[in-house]
Amino acid sequence: MEKTIITVVGKDTVGIIAKICTYLSENKMNILDISQTIVQGYFNMMMIVDTSASSKNTSEISDDLDGIGSEIGVTIRTQHEDIFNSMHRI
């Protein structure tokens, strides 16, 4: 299993989750875990996604999601699980 961590932050608007989930589905990526909150109008989401069935690598996924984020006015960051874990190790 190839896990990728996706974080989304920005002003809450209609369709954020729908846009991201549509992209993931169209590219054969499965959501393993998801956490989402809205605090005083600001949207924050973290997803753990299985990308092993996708033909795209982490860099391509990151570029695509960055473009989607620009379209809908949020910041989307994508990291392979290994990189995420290395950055957050004490």
Q: How far apart are CA 37 and CA 46, in angstroms?
A: 9
Give the strand pairing for 30-39 and 74-80: unpaired
Tens-digit pLDDT profile for residues 8-67 = 999 999 999 999 999 999 999 999 999 999 999 999 999 999 999 999 999 999 999 999
Q: How far apart are CA 31 and CA 47, in angstroms?
A: 7
Residues in the chain: 90
Q: Which helix (H) or strand (E) holds 84?
A: helix 81-87
pTM score, whole prediction: 0.88
